Amino acid sequence: MEGGRPVSKANETDAVSKANETDAVSKANEAGVVSEVMAQGEARSDAQQMNMIQAINSALDVMMDRDPDVVVMGEDVGYFGGVFRATAGLQQKYGKNRVFDTPITECGIIGVAVGMGAYGLRPVPEIQFADYIYPALDQLVSEAARLRYRSAGEFISPMTVRSPFGGGIFGGQTHSQSPEGIFTHVSGVKTVIPSTPYDAKGLLIAAIEDNDPTIFFEPKRIYNGPFDGHYDTPAKSWAGHAEAQVPQGYYRIPLGKARTARAGEALTILCYGTMVHVVENTVAAMGIDAEIIDLRTLVPLDIEAIEASVRKTGRCLIVHEATRTSGFGAELLAQVQERCFYHLEAPIERVTGFDTPYPHSLEWAYFPGPVRIREAITKIMKD
Amino acid sequence: MSDPIGSVEGQAGRNLPPLKLHVPEPPARPGEAADFTHFDIPAAGAQPRPDEAAQPADMRDMAYGLVRVLDDDGQAVGPWDPRLPAETLLKMLRYMALTRAFDARMFRAQRQGKTSFYMKSTGEEAVSIGAAMALSRDDMCFPSYRQQGILIARDWSLVDMMNQIYSNKGDRMKGRQLPIMYSAREAGFFSISGNLTTQYPQAVGWAMASAAKGDTRIAATWCGEGSTAEGDFHSACTFASVYRAPVIMNVVNNQWAISSFSGFAGAEATTFAARAVGYGIAGLRVDGNDVLAVYAATRWAADRARANAGPTLIEHFTYRVEGHSTSDDPSAYRSAEESSQWPLGDPVARLKQHCIALGIWDEDRHAAMDKELAEHVRDAAREAEKNGILGHGLHHPMESMFEDVFEKMPWHLEEQKQQMLDEWKAAGL
Ligand SMILES: Cc1ncc(C[n+]2csc(CCOP(=O)(O)OP(=O)(O)O)c2C)c(N)n1
Ligand SMILES: [Mg+2]
């Protein structure tokens, strides 16, 4: 993605053959090497149109097929296939020993996943909504995240916690939150957030193969189609979107690698998840030559991509839906300030959710939409 | 992966059978006949009624039986019959029918796009109404999202409830919460959380506070059977037991938790009332579609709590007749026949049959009442809709979003509020 041009997804796809052992490619840096090796001229073979749910389902299917140690568990994920249908058909295909409903206890789900990981399995628990991950916090923060460290690698916790997050569906304060900043603050967990069906599948596969615990937050507002931030216009589907062309087989997108969603010279916009689309649309509407970096992985962060872009443009806007204070944007702002200060031509700006719970009726006043992004861009470009 | 820890190496020659994982499966899935043969339903009136001050250890059987008052002929029988006057019975019937009419109307309102979400309590009305009527008006309730019947039995304003559902400018919660997440302090109804079972230890805390202060009020809380798996349920039981808190903990076992049957909360192994046994608290298991049984059990537990004899855990055995919520389609995971074949019948129909058998009610009056209640609810909805429906502009002012995060608004929220107003103004909105 260097050079500030949109890069074809194929360059980041390592179509590692199924014969490869999963642990052989389990580390992000190794994966990076592999993907570079595989980079040349790899088209999206056997691609088909998928929405983000289908892409996630496909990633789980591919990984369950490749690795008998991968297990899927969570509230309503088994027979029913999940309240968002992300695990549909998996129990029927792989059996109840590998795909099962759980009691409604998030603390239990994650604690059990730690135990299964200690045995040698590769659990992919689902937390039905990110808003319900808090009861599991102790098992995640004190246990999963620290197991490798406190046992000096004797035990690991290779789980990937999938969870829908973010607002825009009139879910009120307990079906709308973006708690990624809570996890990026914890040493020992990786945090991944896709923004397209293609990325969702490739990143989820990489997360499952990764030997460290990974939080995989799925922006549910864009499960069924990209969202431009204009809530009052009809919802779009993923049909016809380039990033909804998803290979049916195995591919991975290395963790820790950002994506240049749009190459440009005027300013750098750092974002992830739903906000990538809101930003893209606002930028297009303004006709400004912004460079939009979709972070994809918050921890570990692709600092090289960020640095290269901000050094080039000299201006930086950070956009996320999560609340502002101690949000991940604060970390991004600090990083950019520390590394690019002498290249900056304007103060760094943040557009974020407000520091309130997510309101129900005033959802769209809360959501950091096109109005606020436009204002921030205008302000940055003025200086 | 590498070998599992403590692998099979050392076991060569021991010839042990392979271990097997048990994953529960409900008796019937879509397309299959409903199957309730595994239920053991004792006859109405068969359960003994222990003294309210009985030691938990002396009444363990109650956690495995089923307290039932109304028999198949609509007669109230046995030691649990609360012997309610005709006037109270008819009031109960009316509250249950009103709850059902309210649910029907609000479900339709969601389907018409007037709000984002709704949850019915169809088939479970007796659980809320029976309990609310057995408690004192000033006892404190910590409900889940399916006990709208408590507000209705406490004569709370339907318009107020609907304003909350429409998230409109009349909503006392200022449009902040998902529909049905009511809060009504004046009605002794605690603010409902979307996070399951958090209300359980909170109810215990309220009850402990009441005891510590020498008050006379008790607390009651409700959660679904699926929600008993949450750690908060077990924390609550431990505190309630340790401090003999004056609290009634209700488990509404409606057999389903979204798509997961009660087996995923442990029902294959024991009853939910039996959770009480391990904690050394009184446990009752009640026919939740028999409003007289619910009333009697709640009354028993309330008297026990008021006498400083400790907490009670009550399992209400009932059935979730409709989908989990407006976002759910149960035909995807359970037998379509189940609700019509539920062996404990319909709570409204059963009380109606009882009242008719007593000679205090008849079909004509019932039909007239249903019609009147439907009109009553319709009128309330029209009134509430004057305050707006979701997404049509009649909401609380935008800056109200920043209020109540703290008692006093700190500088950063002041700043964000101003920024929002400036930006919207600049954008000409
Ligand atoms: C902590 C938490 N986890 C998960 C959910 C999602 N959820 C909402 S209701 C529900 C099922 C609850 O079932 P049950 O306790 O049986 O109550 P019922 O809906 O049957 O009344 C689930 C899993 C939630 N609201 N909160
Ligand atoms: Mg239930």
- pLDDT, tens digit (0-9, with 9 covering 90-100), for A332-341: 999 999 999 9
Instruction: Look at residue A253 and tell me whether its pLDDT is greater than 60.
Output: yes
pLDDT number for residue B248: 99
* CB-based contact A325 B412, cutoff 8 Å: yes
Instruction: Look at residue A271 and tell me whether its pLDDT is greater than 90.
Output: yes
Confidence of residue B423 (pLDDT cuts 50, 70, 90): confident
Instruction: Look at residue A279 and tell me whether its pLDDT is greater than 90.
Output: yes
Q: Is A185 a catalytic residue?
A: no
pLDDT number for residue B32: 96
Q: Distance of CA B201 to CAs B170, B205, B245, B294, Å?
A: 31, 6, 11, 22
Q: Distance of CA B367 to CAs A2, B94, B97, B370, B371, Å?
A: 74, 12, 11, 5, 6
**Mean pLDDT estimate for chain B:** 96
Lowest mean pLDDT among A205-219, A229-243, B5-19: B5-19
Nearest atom in ligand 1 to the alpha carbon of residue B146 is 21
Lookup: tokens for B410: 């700190």
For B424, list phi and psi in degrees, rounded to 5. -70, -35
- Reply yes or no: is the peptide bond before residue B343 cis, omega within 30 of 0: no
pLDDT number for residue B13: 66
Burial class of residue B11 in the structure, from the number of CB atoms within 10 Å of its CB (0-12 exposed, 13-18 middle, 19+ buried): exposed
For residue range B211-230, list pLDDT tens digits in order: 999 999 999 999 999 999 99
Nearest CA residue ID for atom 25, ligand 1: B195
Lookup: tokens for B179: 């529909």
pLDDT number for residue A45: 77
- Residue B32 contacts residue B335 (beta carbons within 8 Å): yes
pLDDT number for residue A43: 59
For residue range B345-392, list pLDDT tens digits in order: 999 999 999 999 999 999 999 999 999 999 999 999 999 999 999 988
Spatial CB neighbours of B51, under 8 Å, sequence gap ≥ 6: none
pLDDT number for residue A166: 98
For residue range B261-312, list pLDDT tens digits in order: 999 999 999 999 999 999 999 999 999 999 999 999 999 999 999 999 999 9
For residue range A1-48, list pLDDT tens digits in order: 333 333 333 333 333 333 333 343 343 334 443 443 333 335 577 899
Percentage of chain A beyond pLDDT 90 is 87
Task: Give the residue-averaged pLDDT of B338-347.
Answer: 95
Lookup: tokens for A224: 């069924």
pLDDT number for residue A3: 33
| Mutate: best of B2, B23, B234, partner A, most A CBs <10 A | B23
Residue A233 near chain B (CB below 8 Å): no
pLDDT number for residue A383: 72
Instruction: Look at residue B200 and tell me whether its pLDDT is greater than 80.
Output: yes
- AA letter at B280: G
pLDDT number for residue A26: 41
pLDDT number for residue A235: 93
- Residue A72 contacts residue A57 (beta carbons within 8 Å): no
pLDDT number for residue B372: 98
For residue range A60-88, list pLDDT tens digits in order: 999 999 999 999 999 999 999 999 999 99
* CB-based contact B400 A362, cutoff 8 Å: yes
Confidence of residue A309 (pLDDT cuts 50, 70, 90): very high
Task: Give the residue-averaged pLDDT of A310-317.
Answer: 98
**Mean pLDDT estimate for chain A:** 91
Q: What is the strand order of the sheet B247-253 is part of? A: B140-142, B219-224, B247-253, B312-317, B282-287
For residue range A39-68, list pLDDT tens digits in order: 333 557 789 999 999 999 999 999 999 999
Percentage of chain B beyond pLDDT 70 is 97
Q: Which helix (H) or strand (E) holds B276?
A: helix B275-279
Nearest atom in ligand 1 to the alpha carbon of residue B144 is 21
Distance of residue A7 Cα from the nearest chain B Cα, in angstroms: 34
Lookup: tokens for B85: 């006057």
Dihedral sign (CA A130, A136, A137, A143): negative
pTM strictly above 0.95: no
Q: Distance of CA B314 to CAs B66, B95, B277, B298, Å?
A: 11, 22, 12, 8
* CB-based contact A80 B333, cutoff 8 Å: yes
